Amino acid sequence: MVNSLVAERMQEFPAAIHRLLPHYRISELCPYTFLISPASGKALCPPAPKEIPLTLFGAIHGNEVVGIQILNEVLELLASGQLVLHFPLAVALGNYRAVAQGARYCDKDLNRSFGGGKGTAWELERAAELSKVLSKSWYFVDFHQTSQPSLEPFFIFPFSRKNVQFAREISPRQAVITHWHGGFSVDGMATDELVTKVGGIGLTVETGQNGFSPYQESLGVHTALKALKAVDFHLRKHHQLPVYGQEPGAKERNPLYTWAQLQAYPSTGEVVLKPGLLNFQAVTQGDILGTHNGEPLVATATGKLLFPKYLDSVIDRGRRPAELWRVIVPIAVEDLPAEA
């Protein structure tokens, strides 16, 4: 069952959207998905064929609820006039049905459902309607949270030069985890993969462990505001309008990582993960991180731990995920490919 605070925050989302009238025009693109456009003056449009300059998603995983609060706060800033939008912005709460159930997903992981799939899972239907929004988006930020605590917040996204540049423009000192050897997961496509594949610029931000948190809320709102600012800058440049200040993020360098190990979750047998593992904790090659049927499971690289997975009876309902952990290793800018 979902707690009342989550239910309240969910109800607040469409209510906050409607408070933007009459200063903004609102179109409901699909459930819990809105396009907000300035009601007067000329709205800046992105380079064709893109139609939406910036899209912000939260709660693609139903238990990662801080994204709801981040979007609500951005809407509140718009409603109060403290933040003024000169271009269309799309916002969505991804897996609103899983949010209502307090689960990561209902039938299938929504963030592995983009790019199609067979079956009758509700998430495939939801991914199909959200894909239409993502395909039209020039820039995109997806707010996520980790299952276990994280020693630091981080970006994670498929590699493209433009994605790395956008991360730099938003949070120049925040860790960037990127990858260019195939997809994020063997299960299916994630939001940022779809955006990147169709020529957009898309990032995922992991603010910290799932749940409401004042620190993560402010980090997320800051991220959203920086994204709005960067997109405003790029739109002005595109339309040859005067720009204010320097090119964002021109000289900054985020710490870069990619993964060297992706430990699959055994599909059968007893899996025991060492208790208390954290995201970004240091690990050394050969460290025993758990056991499978009593046999040791080890880190095969020296670096930092990512996404250690303990099954949660409510969130996972006994369903095994595809992976048990990842090990990420630092890389230099020179290690990045020319273009994936």
Residue (of 144, 263, 142, 287) closest to 200 by Cα position: 142
Residue (144 or 234) nearer to Zn ion, CB: 144
Q: Pattern 11-50, binding to Zn ion, x per CB under 5 A? A: ----------------------------------------
Query: Tokens 């046999």, residue?
Result: 295
Rounded to whole angstroms, the Cα distance separating 183 from 250 reads: 28
Nearer to Zn ion, 64 or 192 (CB): 64
Number of residues lying near Zn ion (CB under 5 A): 3
DSSP 222: H
Question: Least CB distance from residue 147 to Zn ion, whole Å?
Answer: 9
Tell me how far, at minimum, the Cβ of 111 lies from Zn ion, in Å: 6
Smallest separation, CB 60 to Zn ion (Å): 6
CB of 91 or CB of 235, closer to Zn ion: 91
Nearest approach in angstroms of CB 78 to Zn ion is 25
* 104 binds Zn ion per the rule CB under 5 A: no
Q: How far is the CB of 109 from Zn ion (least distance, A)?
A: 9
CB of 185 to Zn ion, least distance (A): 11
* Residue 95 or 258 having the CB closest to Zn ion: 95
Indicate the residue among 64 and 169 with the shorter CB distance to Zn ion: 64
Return the closest-CA partner of residue 311 out of 104, 114, 96.
104
Residues 6+ apart with CB under 8 A from 140: 54, 55, 56, 57, 134, 191, 192, 195, 200, 201, 202, 203
Chain residue at closest Cβ approach to Zn ion: 144
Smaller CB separation from Zn ion, 35 or 124 = 124
- Minimum CB separation of residue 144 from Zn ion in Å reads 3
Nearer to Zn ion, 108 or 144 (CB): 144
How distant is the alpha carbon of residue 93 from its chain centre? 12
Q: Give CA–CA dist 131/159, Å, rounded.
A: 20
Dihedrals phi, psi of 190, to nearest 5 degrees: -95, 165
CA 309 – CA 23 distance, rounded (Å): 45
End-to-end CA distance of the chain: give it in Å, rounded: 42
Tokens 């912000």, residue? 56
Residues 51-90 that bind Zn ion (CB under 5 A): 61, 64
Between CA 122 and CA 96 the distance in angstroms is: 11
Cis peptide before 49 (omega within 30 of 0): yes
- Output the smallest distance, CB 94 to Zn ion, in A: 9
Q: Measured from the CB of residue 209, what is the shortest distance to Zn ion in angstroms?
A: 11
User: Which CB, 208 or 303, lies closer to Zn ion?
Assistant: 208
Q: Mention every residue, 6+ apart, whose C-beta is less than 8 A from residue 18.
A: 26
Calculated CA dihedral for residues 306, 311, 313, 314, nearest 10 degrees? 20
Is residue 136 within the footprint of Zn ion (CB under 5 A)? no
3-class DSSP state for residue 179? strand
Of the candidates 176, 180, 178, 185, the one whose C-alpha atom is nearest the C-alpha of residue 152 is 176
By C-beta, is 61 or 112 nearer to Zn ion?
61
Strand partners, 143: 58, 205
Which residues pair with residue 279 across a beta bridge? 150
Question: Does 144 interact with Zn ion (rule: CB under 5 A)?
Answer: yes
Interface pattern 216-255 for Zn ion (x via CB under 5 A): ----------------------------------------
Footprint of Zn ion on this chain (CB under 5 A)? 61, 64, 144
